[in-house]
Amino acid sequence: MTPRAEVVARHTGRAVRNVRPLSGALAEVTLDDGRVVVVKRSDEPGAARAEAAGLRWLAAAGNVRVPAVHGHEEGWLVIDRVPRGRPDPEAAVRFGRDLAALHAAGAPAFGAPPPNGPVDAFIGLAPMRNEPADDWPRWYAEQRVLPYLRRAVDQGTVRAGEATVVERLCEELPGLAGPAEPPARLHGDLWSGNVLWAADGRVWLIDPAAHGGHRETDLAMLGLFGCPHLEQVLDGYREEAPLAEGWRERVGVHRLFPLLVHAVLFGRGYAEQALAVARTALAG
């Protein structure tokens, strides 16, 4: 029996009929009762625990759909497979409402990790520290923007002279952040690749980097790389929970974090986008 099959059998209590690799880190596994689960492999310490805790925390809110967690151990996570469907406008509106309800479920603080989740977690392949704080602008600057800016500078992806525009934005965040809001329960990595349009006609979310944060960050990330029926998603969201005035002008501020993460992971093109949104936010 392969290591993947052994892990799945251990956490589902079922014999394994077939293993179909999807990538080096991901495989679909068919159980002896016909159900299909997904097993994920990660070499990063704590990554499986962080993702499992995030999925369970999102599920506990009782609104958005996420795969059930069968179990995890160091380096491995076993979850349900979500059968794929097609993007649909009605599903988009419903997803917007569900996402608003998820955010309203709240978090103990900005940066709060999910229950039983580690402080040192991940967003994609990048480390992400969940250190709770009460003040969003300061927390966002110190825990989300500046750590990745420093890494990007150390890598040479952002030139030292360019970093000042992002640093200045961080200094001015209290005046750019809009009205104060309570901590929201965030998916935390809500780009369109983590939004699954499922065969059941609903939207499911995968691969969270869950934590307490500002709800506009999830929404800004949702549109960063394009999302089917985004305007319908936003319509459904605002029906359930209206957004504060000026939220569209703040999108760039909230995108600065994921853009810098991408700059660290994938290079200069994302650094240029991050610098551009910082300049625009400061000018506007």
Give me the active site residues, please: 189
Tokens of 196: 């699954």
Residue with tokens 């910082």: 278
Q: Are 204 and 84 in contact (CB under 8 A)?
A: no
Beta strands in the chain (DSSP E): 16-21, 26-31, 36-41, 69-73, 76-80, 120-123, 126-129, 184-186, 195-197, 203-205, 211-213
At 120, phi and psi to the nearest 5?
A: -90, 100
Q: Which residues contact 198 (CB under 8 A, 6 or more apart)?
A: 65, 82, 83, 84, 85, 204
The distance of Cα 166 from the centroid of its chain, to the nearest Å, equals: 22
The span from the CA of 284 to the CA of 165, in Å, is 14
Between CA 186 and CA 195, with CA 191 as vertex, the angle to 5 degrees is: 85
Distance linking the first and last C-alpha atoms of the chain: 60
